[in-house]
Structure 1
C-alpha cells in the first residue's frame, strides 16, 4: 500500500496511454487526503540576546509577550544594529505543524488564516511564503490590507526562547472565510489556543466555527495549548472548549501543569484523558508521552520493558492503536513514553518548534489511516474505528525522531524529510 509521502517510483513515459491529469496544488476534498490548520500567520525573526536585553524591554523570559508596533520596531532596530538576527522564518505553531506535515507526507495540507493582499519584497508576508512548503494550499487565506504578524524569537545564552509578538492584522480572520467543504473532507483539523488572547478579534470566532464544523462532519480535532501563561489566564474557557470540541490535545509539561495542577506528566495526562481522546505531551529532556484510549477487545500488550512511575505498569498496552473514546464499547486508557532520540542533540541551541514537529508526525499517522481506510475499507487494519494507523509506541518513535531533527537543525521547521538512510525505519512506523 502506498501511503501519502515519499515513495520510490519507476519513472517512465507510456506513449500508448492517455495523458494523466496534471497535478494541482489546490486541495480537492473528494480526492485528496489532507489536514487543515487554522493559525495566526506570523513571521519569526530569530535573534540571540542577553538577559539584560529582555529586562530593558520588560519582556518576560520564556513566555509569549505581546508588544505594540512601536516597541517591536525599537527591538528590531536594535537587533539589526547589533547584528544579532540570525534569520527570518515563517512561524506560528500551526503553520509550523502543517508545513512539517507536508514535508513528511510529501502531500497537501490547507492553511486558514490571513495574508497581505499586496506582498512586497522583504515584507513579513514575503518571508512567510518563501519559507512554507509548496504543498501547503494557501488558496483559502483571507486577504488583509496590512501586514501579517511579526514574532521576534529572542534566544538567551541558556537556550531559552522568549517571544515578542507584534500582531499586525494576523487576528483579522473572520468566520466567513472558514470553508465548510474543505474542513468536511479533511483527515483532521488542527488549531491552537492563541486566538483566546484576543477576545475582541474575529479570529477567535473563526477558530470556534472551524472546530464546530469539524465536529459536525466527524473530522478529528486537534488543539495545541500555546504557553503556560496563556493557559493560566484562560483556563476555564479552555477547559470548556476542550470538553466540547477537542479530540486530541497537544502541550508541554508546563502547560499540562497549568491546566491540571499536576507537575507529573503522567498524572496530568491521566487527568486530561477524562476530557479528550488523545494527549501528546512533550516533556523536554524527559522525552514525550502519547496517551489515549483504545477498546478492551483490541488492546495489545507491549513487548518493550514495562515502565512504572506515578502510574504502575503504565505502558503495558502501548502496542494498541488510538481510538476515539466514543467509539469504544469498553474504553481503557493507554500510556506510552519514549526517551529523547539518541539522548537528544549534543547541544540544543533553540527548542522552538520541537513540539510542533512531534505533532506533525502524529498528524501524518492519522492522515495515513484516513488514506488507507478510504483506499481499502475492508482491510483488517480497520476492524475497529481506529484514529491512527500505528500503535501508541510506534507513533512515539516517529514523533520523537521528528522532534530530534528539529532540534538538531536549529530551526522551527523541517527543511527536508527524515534522512534517506532511514527509509527502512520509516516503513516500520506503519508495521504495528
Structure 2
C-alpha cells in the first residue's frame, strides 16, 4: 500500500536518530510519490445578509432548507451581487473539503475530480471556489460544464435566523469518460461519499463513480467511503451493506450513520459489525473521539496501554487490542481504539 504525504519529523513515532534538521537533506524519490484522489459534487457555500422581503420574494421558508431551480438560483445570486449582500463565498463539498484539508495538513498533492464552469467570471462563485482551494489540490482534471456548479445559499435575516437554498446546478454531470485511469492507478486511495450514487435518474455522476471504483479495484487502490447522513443510509441499509461488501475498503461514519447501517447504537459495536463488509472502519462519536476497527494477524496483536472508555462497549472489551491493521486476508479480527490526537503532535519530551 502506498502512503501519501510528507511525514514530518517526530509527528507520529518516536525517533532515536539525531535531529533530522541537522542531517543532510535527502532529495525526494519521485518514483515513490503518491497522492489521494477524490470525487465530489463541486459546491460553493454562499453566505449573505438579507431582509424578510428577500426570503418571501424567492418563495423560501424562513429557517428551513429548500432545493431551488437553476433559474431561481441564478436570479437570487445576481440580486445578491447587484446589491452587494454577499459576505462570504467558500469552496464546499464533503470530498472537496477533504482534499483541501489533506493537502494543507500533509503539504502534498491531492486530486479532485468533478465539474467546473467552463466560463469563469472573475470574482464569481466558481472563481472563489478555485481561489479558496489549496494550491496543492490538483484541479486540472475537473470536467467543464456549460452552466453553474452547485450552490448552497445561507441567507441570514435581520433576526439572525438562517434560511438555506440549495441549487444542484450541474454538479452531478460528471461523465465516466472524464475519470482518468492513470490518476487513480497511482493514488493511495480513492475517496467517495454516499451522495455520489444517489442522484436524479439520467444524471451521469453514479456511472462516473462506478467507473472510478472499477479503476481502483483494477489497480488495487483502496476505496474510501464516507456515509454522508443517516437519512441516506436509513432509506435502504441492506443496499448499502451490499455496496460496501462489493466495492469499499475503508468506511468512515459517525455513530448515527453507524446505527442506521448496522442497527447498533454503540459506536464500537457498529464498527465491529461493519467489518463484515469492509477492511477498516473509522467511527466518530462526538466528544468521545474516534473509534477505529480493523483486522490484524494473531502474532501482531498486543494489549493497548490506553484505558477503555467507561460504560461503553463492555461486550467488546476482549477485542481491546492494538496492532497495525491489514486487509481482511488476515485471520483475526480486533478493534483498535486510539486516543484522538492533533495531526501535528506535540514536540518530543526531553
TM-score normalised to structure 1 length: 0.65
1: CA distance, partners of 2:162 / 2:240: 24
1:307-342 deviations in Å (ceiling 9; x for gaps): 45234353864531121112x1x2213141xxxxxx
Q: Check 1:237–1:3 CA distance in 2 against 1; reply closer, same or farther (3 A cut).
A: closer
Larger Rg: 1 or 2?
Answer: 2
In 1, are the aligned partners of 2:43 and 2:152 still within 8 Å (CA)? yes
> In structure 2, which of residues 188, 200, 211 is the aligned counterpart of residue 209 of structure 1?
211
Number of the residue aligned with 2:290: 288
2: CA distance, partners of 1:268 / 1:238: 14
Q: Check 1:318–1:78 CA distance in 2 against 1; reply closer, same or farther (3 A cut).
A: farther
1: CA distance, partners of 2:127 / 2:97: 16
2: CA distance, partners of 1:211 / 1:40: 16
Number of the residue aligned with 2:267: 265
1:132 matched to 2:123: no
> In structure 1, which of residues 237, 256, 259 is the aligned counterpart of residue 258 of structure 2?
256
Q: Check 1:214–1:77 CA distance in 2 against 1; reply closer, same or farther (3 A cut).
A: same
Number of the residue aligned with 1:188: 189
Deviation, structure 1 residue 120: 0.7
Residue 296 of structure 2 aligns to a residue whose secondary structure is: strand
Number of the residue aligned with 2:34: 33
Q: Check 1:114–1:265 CA distance in 2 against 1; reply closer, same or farther (3 A cut).
A: same
* Residues paired across the two proteins, number: 326
1: CA distance, partners of 2:231 / 2:273: 20
2: CA distance, partners of 1:263 / 1:281: 12
Name the structure with the higher helix share.
1
- What value does the CA root-mean-square deviation take over the aligned residues? 3.8
1:92 matched to 2:101: no
Residue 321 of structure 1 aligns to a residue whose secondary structure is: coil
In 2, are the aligned partners of 1:79 and 1:85 still within 8 Å (CA)? yes
Residue 241 of structure 2 aligns to a residue whose secondary structure is: helix
Unaligned runs of at least 5 residues, structure 2 = 10-19
* Counterparts of residues 269-418 of structure 1 (less than 5 Å): 269-307=271-309, 309-312=312-315, 314=317, 317-326=320-329, 328=330, 330-336=331-337, 393=338, 396-398=339-341, 401=342, 418=344
1:176-234 deviations in Å (ceiling 9; x for gaps): 01111111111111011112231421111111111121112111110011112222335
2: CA distance, partners of 1:257 / 1:109: 31
Number of the residue aligned with 1:200: 202
In 2, are the aligned partners of 1:42 and 1:124 still within 8 Å (CA)? no
2: CA distance, partners of 1:257 / 1:184: 33
2: CA distance, partners of 1:96 / 1:204: 20
In 2, are the aligned partners of 1:95 and 1:111 still within 8 Å (CA)? yes
Residue 215 of structure 1 aligns to a residue whose secondary structure is: helix
In 1, are the aligned partners of 2:197 and 2:209 still within 8 Å (CA)? no
Number of the residue aligned with 2:169: 168
In 1, are the aligned partners of 2:5 and 2:35 still within 8 Å (CA)? no
Deviation, structure 1 residue 167: 1.1
Deviation, structure 1 residue 271: 1.8
Residue 182 of structure 2 aligns to a residue whose secondary structure is: helix
